[in-house]
Structure 1
Amino acid sequence: MIGNLFTLKQLEALIWVADLGSFRRAAAHLNTTQPNISARIAGLESTLGVTLMRRDAGSIRLTEKGHALLVQARRVLREAERLVDIAARPDLIDDSLRLGVTEVVASTWLRPFLRSLAEAYPNLTVELTVDLSRDLDQELAANALDLTVQTAPFSTPASGQLNLATYDYIWVAAPELAAQIGPAPDLAALVRHPVLGHARHTQAYQDLIGYFDGTRAPKARLVPSSSLSAAMNMVLDGMGVAVMPRVMVAPALAEGTLKTLSATWHPQPLQVAARYHTERTPGHVSRAAELARSCAEAFDVQDQKNLSRP
């Protein structure tokens, strides 16, 4: 038997050094010290009699053997996680999940999702990032995040992707401004006011640009923002109109602090997906994505019930 030759911690160190490109970053992720990580890698190399990686001008490069062993190390750790699954001991998953979400998710069903994660994996630590989808995309590609819940379009591929929800856009304004504009405004009536909304690189903003450029309406005063919450606060204060995901402004509509404008055009619906890299993430990441889908679906059911209430 080879059970005493190397440990799961050594294989774990190999994986994280390879994924993060740094002994220091691997040590921080695994809550240990850099010398400890170095010792694990050195012990694995000594036992197997191979060189796994080379340090070159501050960077880490896997050798040919290192790449081959990395693939097998991932398989071994996944199989070890299956032992935990069979034993029904999710509390033994003592790891961190680097989760990135967009603001739409953070303002709607993030809390029940985090509660579901805590119930499923009580010793899993969530490192949360709330950012623009474009930036989450880049961080996922760079191995800086394990799982993203973000909005299309996606600029980089991910081998694991679950479609979670589709959110329609609506035009809204503060009650006083909505009364001035009227119940069924034409485009010219809308663009007499600043149009608040998404950041410049988003699909919704590009849809706005494309639509307004193709009309004879007065030039719109588009006011992009990297924070939809900040844009919504500006709308609440009567500083302009906005086209927003309905799910995000639903509470304000229910309270009467925002009013819907019955415009005839809207950006294409917002597509939300959970994304991860199947080949290099542990099993609990894919299960977290499944939990995200369940929470998104449950939130949508409740949202539809709220809409149907008189």
Structure 2
Amino acid sequence: MNYKRLETFIRVAKLGNFRKAAELMHTTQPAISARISALESELGVKLFTREGGSSPIALTPKGKELLPYIEKILYQSEQLRRRAEVSTAYSGLLRLGVSETIVNTWLPAFLAKIHTDMPKLDVELTVDVTSSIAAGIKDHSIDLGLLMGPISEPNIVNLDLCTYTLSWVASPQLKLPRRLLYLEELAQWPIITYARNTKPYAEINQRFRSLEGPSARFFASASLAACRSLTIDAVGVATLPDILITKELAAGELHKIRSIWLPSALKFTASYSDDVFNPVAEKAAEIAVEIAELYKES
């Protein structure tokens, strides 16, 4: 039985749309239709109802009955490939979405491991905020996300990666007192922080907006490297992951500020959708867990 036809059946069944299945499998809609028709002819049953127009394609009762069996066939086929260590099982393209905290810590080690373990795999890298990466995972434009998770959806697999604490930091040029500081005192300076459509920004903004007195000014950026540089140059005070500022603290370019409140630590997950079988994303997520373990905070 043709493996590609079975895979096509699963993708159309999950997505309910020939066009989306064609985009995901990097082929044309007529090719998808031909594979489904050939599979129906081979099995001697109708698998989908095609009402036309904008209505989604639906499984027939026989299609629903056969779906778990075909899923099992594909799963067992993939396990056979893994057992035989067939490297072509991990070829093709991995569309990877990554939060910048990971980019600035262990992404190079992760990609090096990907190259070693899956040498025939191409990687398409997107660096973005978590909300955009999560949206890409849900609409299948991103295969695997290394992001601030988890994503609370029933069809999303979330593997724990690492948790990084945040600290308030500033340049010694600002000459802030070394005693415990109130947020009202920090608010005298621009607050350098994560991009506006992120969890850390929302938490920090809400906390400062609840204070009495003049409103705090926020210098928000999707680039943590930019946030770090602005802080070193004494533009304002910042909340940055400890793992990103060890060298700057040791060199005296930054120092930690003692404050009565700290934002929540950043928790990262390797997240991917399992409503369409994707062994490459599954394997890459396992590698991410392995590499992240080496970069945990002590």
* TM-score bracket for the superposition, by shorter chain length: 0.7 to 0.9
Coordinate RMSD, CA, aligned: 2.8
State which of 45, 49, 53 in structure 2 corresponds to 1:50.
Answer: 45
In the alignment, is residue 8 of structure 1 matched against residue 6 of structure 2? no
SS at match of 2:179: coil
In the alignment, is residue 238 of structure 1 matched against residue 221 of structure 2? no
CA change 1:16–1:113 in 2 (3 A) is: same
2:216 is aligned to 220
Q: How does 1:129-144 map to 2 (within 5 A)?
A: 129-144=126-141
CA change 1:93–1:213 in 2 (3 A) is: closer
* Aligned-partner Cα distance in 2 for 1:22–1:60: 6
SS at match of 2:39: helix
* Aligned-partner Cα distance in 2 for 1:155–1:87: 35
User: Residue 295 of structure 1: CA displacement?
Assistant: 0.6
State which of 80, 86, 91 in structure 2 corresponds to 1:89.
Answer: 86
1:116 is aligned to 113
In the alignment, is residue 181 of structure 1 matched against residue 176 of structure 2? yes
User: Residue 170 of structure 1: CA displacement?
Assistant: 0.8
CA change 1:245–1:157 in 2 (3 A) is: farther
Query: Given the two structures, how large is their TM-score scaled by the length of structure 1?
Result: 0.82
SS at match of 2:267: strand
* Aligned-partner Cα distance in 2 for 1:159–1:242: 33
User: Residue 251 of structure 1: CA displacement?
Assistant: 4.2
CA change 1:185–1:82 in 2 (3 A) is: same
Query: Given the two structures, how large is their TM-score scaled by the length of structure 2?
Result: 0.84
* Aligned-partner Cα distance in 2 for 1:294–1:282: 19
In the alignment, is residue 290 of structure 1 matched against residue 286 of structure 2? yes
Query: Unpaired runs of 5+ in structure 2?
Result: none
Task: Output one character per residue of 1:100-146: Cα deviation in whole Å (capped at 9) or x when no partner.
Answer: 22111122111111221222222223332222112222222233333
* Aligned-partner Cα distance in 2 for 1:10–1:90: 22
Q: How does 1:1-310 map to 2 (within 5 A)?
A: 6-20=1-15, 22-53=17-48, 54=50, 56-57=52-53, 60-64=56-60, 65-152=62-149, 154-177=151-174, 180-184=175-179, 186-187=181-182, 188-216=184-212, 218-300=214-296, 304=298
CA change 1:249–1:101 in 2 (3 A) is: same
CA change 1:143–1:74 in 2 (3 A) is: farther
**Higher mean C-alpha deviation, range 285-294 or range 163-172:** 285-294
**For the Cα contact (< 8 Å) 2:11–2:276, is it kept in 1?**
no
CA change 1:28–1:158 in 2 (3 A) is: closer
SS at match of 2:263: coil
SS at match of 1:111: helix
CA change 1:14–1:98 in 2 (3 A) is: farther
**For the Cα contact (< 8 Å) 2:167–2:262, is it kept in 1?**
yes
User: Residue 296 of structure 1: CA displacement?
Assistant: 0.7
Query: Unpaired runs of 5+ in structure 1?
Result: 1-5, 305-310
* Aligned-partner Cα distance in 2 for 1:251–1:67: 57
CA change 1:140–1:215 in 2 (3 A) is: same
User: Residue 33 of structure 1: CA displacement?
Assistant: 3.9
SS at match of 1:113: helix
